[in-house]
Amino acid sequence: MSGVIFNVVSPEITLTASTTKTMLQVTAAANHRIKILGYTVSFNEPVGDATPAQPIILTLGTQTGGSGGTSVTPVKRKGTETVLTTATHTLTSAATTTAIEKQYVNSQTGVSVMFPMGQEIEVAGSGIFGIDVTTGTLSSATLKGIFNLLIEE
């Protein structure tokens, strides 16, 4: 790895009640391993909402399949090297995910995780990694989320 650190950030995505959807997916370039250094997931539901959404199930892991979606441009932290990893958000057909991490997330607080050095999630060259969201009952407000991966290539 050359130490190129970059973010892949989705735009604000509207969530649909009682569905599982791949919100953000990255594909490592052939023969170029990547490390997932951390992630952030946030939602727009205000604290104190009288009818908050049920906790959202967040699944991170390696993926196969999935299709559609919109391309996302990775944003480097510094340097002039070209980022070879590609990214897509809001896939129209969800991927099959092998969970590495799975947790409930409160839609009023979100979650932010940075993995300790040496414990990052490694994705092999040509491998696919993504964030899936499973929603339950949503509040009366339109619930939106933003998904962010911090990656080293």
pLDDT at 41: 95
Confidence (pLDDT) at 111: 95
In order of their start, the domains of the chain are 5-152 (2.60.120.680)
Length of the chain: 153
Q: What is the 3-state secondary structure (H, E, C) of the chain?
A: CCCCEEEEECCCEECCCCCEEEEEEEECCCCCCEEEEEEEEEECCCCCCCCCCCCEEEEEEEEECCECCEEECCEECCCCCCCCCEEEECCCECCEEEEEEEEEECCCCCEEEECCCCCCEEECCCCEEEEEEECCCCCCCCCEEEEEEEEEC
In the prediction, which pLDDT does 45 show? 81
pLDDT at 100: 94
DSSP state of 69: -
Please tell me the pTM assigned to this model. Answer: 0.92
Q: What is the pLDDT of residues 100-113, one digit of tens each?
A: 999 999 888 899 99
Rounded Cα distance between 151 and 7, Å, is: 6
Residues of the chain with pLDDT under 50: none
pLDDT at res. 2: 73
pLDDT the model gives residue 148? 97
149 near 77, Cβ under 8 Å? no
Residue 65: the pLDDT is: 86
